[in-house]
Amino acid sequence: MKKIISIVGARPQFIKHAPMQLELQKYFEALTIHTGQHYDENMSAVFFNELNMPPPDFLFDIGGSKPQGEQTGIMMKEIEAVCMKEKPDALLVYGDTNSTLAGTLVAAKMHIPQIHIEAGLRSFNRDMPEEINRIVADEFAYLLFCPTDQAIDNLKKEGITHNRIFKCGDVMCDMVKLMEPKSKRPVEYPYYFVTIHRPYNTDENSRLIHILQTLNNLDKKVIFSIHPRTVARLLQYGIDIKEFNNILFVPPTGYVESISYQKFSECVITDSGGIQKEAYILGKKCITLRSETEWTETLQNGWNTLAFDDLTQIKTAIHQKPGEHLGPIYGDGLAAAEITAIIKKHI
């Protein structure tokens, strides 16, 4: 039996990995490395339990507070040691995190075929570390699985045109379709659901306060699922969350709980790539606190609105009714099975 090692380390990757692991283990010796990039219990272990995934075979104690270079270097050292011992036939990485970059570089240097799920996405902002990680992962990938036609076009423009590029939908759509029936209305009153964690929204005191003040002045209650990174910045800046009485701050949510909060909200406000997708799949309007998005399809007909420099746009956009929903642009919920079938042919 061929051996595939999947590398995960952050919340969106646990979600993507769940349907893949369940399919892969039918045909391969499917092992998992959890780099520990997200080390909070609610950002990590709870997902393995809730999504019915087997626990990771290898768990590194990396943590998310180290500088990016140091973090990536430690991951590479640990991943390389596992690969030397296990001698996998392929390494599988997801998306655009430092865990993805570390796995890609180890695979390239050890001449192990690398599989990239969520290939071809581009925000065209190379100031974002995620953009660099995507480009490197795609450049060295043996098999590239793209969720959309636009992602394939992006690869072609960069000269990646070999015959191992496949459009297979999005594995996050698999999870949303699977978990949505388990969702329940979390509160009885109308609310907006918020997640904010990216450095350009949290790493400057004045920016973070401006965001919180804007949210606090919205016309409905705000439920803010607060990432450990954002908690750390609030403490660092001495920001008292009690001053924002229109915002209910809640710990990071489990997956079904997150889907529930999104599904029954009046609008989703986020800077997360994955939640933009989830909101679209759930038919929920989204406002993204970024100047660009790799999920450009969600912008069509006003289902997703970018608001960054001028946060007053939030108050306007939140009440604008979106146009026609374009339906299953991220697949039919069967991406993991299709991807696994193609891996079987090539590995």
CATH number at 119 reads 3.40.50.2000
Does the model's pTM come out above 0.85? Answer: yes
> Is there a single domain that holds both residue 80 and residue 102?
yes
Written as one string, the DSSP assignment of 240-261 is: -GGG-TTEEEEPPPPHHHHHHH
| pLDDT beyond 60 at 42 | no
**pLDDT of res. 258:** 94
Q: What is the dihedral of CA 301, 304, 305, 307, to 10 degrees?
A: -170
> Is there a single domain that holds both residue 33 and residue 63?
yes
- Rounded to an integer, what distance in angstroms lies between the CA atom of residue 88 and that of residue 28? 11
| pLDDT beyond 90 at 92 | yes
In the chain, at which residue ranges do the beta strands (DSSP E only) sit? 3-8, 29-34, 58-59, 90-94, 114-117, 143-146, 165-167, 191-195, 221-225, 247-250, 267-270, 286-288, 304-306
> Is there a single domain that holds both residue 114 and residue 230?
no
- Rounded to an integer, what distance in angstroms lies between the CA atom of residue 104 and that of residue 101? 5
**pLDDT of res. 36:** 87
| pLDDT beyond 70 at 64 | no
Q: What is the dihedral of CA 121, 127, 129, 133, to 10 degrees?
A: 40
> Is there a single domain that holds both residue 32 and residue 161?
yes
Cα distances from 238 to residues 20, 206, 229, 235, 242, in angstroms, run 42, 12, 14, 5, 12
Q: Is 236 contained in some domain?
A: yes
Q: Which domain holds residue 145?
A: 3-170+331-346
For residue range 67-82, list pLDDT tens digits in order.
Answer: 889 999 999 999 999 9
Q: Is 325 contained in some domain?
A: no
For residue range 120-143, list pLDDT tens digits in order.
Answer: 999 999 988 999 999 999 999 999
- Rounded to an integer, what distance in angstroms lies between the CA atom of residue 101 and that of residue 73? 10
Structure tokens at 323: 């146009």
| pLDDT beyond 80 at 47 | no
> Is there a single domain that holds both residue 339 and residue 259?
no
Of 43-57, 134-148, 187-201, 293-307, least confident by mean pLDDT is 43-57
Q: Is 324 contained in some domain?
A: no
| Cβ contact 36:65 at 8 Å | no
| Cβ contact 287:294 at 8 Å | no
- Rounded to an integer, what distance in angstroms lies between the CA atom of residue 335 and that of residue 345? 16
> Is there a single domain that holds both residue 147 and residue 216?
no
Residues 6+ apart with CB under 8 A from 324: 301
Give catalytic residues, as residue numbers. Answer: 197
Instruction: Please state, rounded to an integer, the average pLDDT across all residues of the chain.
Output: 93
3-state helix, strand, coil in the chain (%, to 5): 45, 15, 40
**pLDDT of res. 68:** 85
Q: Provide the phi-psi class of 111: left if phi over 0, else alpha when psi is between -120 and 50, else beta.
A: left
Instruction: Count up the domains in the chain and report the number.
Output: 2
> Is there a single domain that holds both residue 294 and residue 337?
no
| pLDDT beyond 90 at 212 | yes
For residue range 271-289, list pLDDT tens digits in order.
Answer: 999 999 999 999 999 999 9
Rounded mean pLDDT, 207-211: 96
For residue range 254-268, list pLDDT tens digits in order.
Answer: 889 999 999 999 999
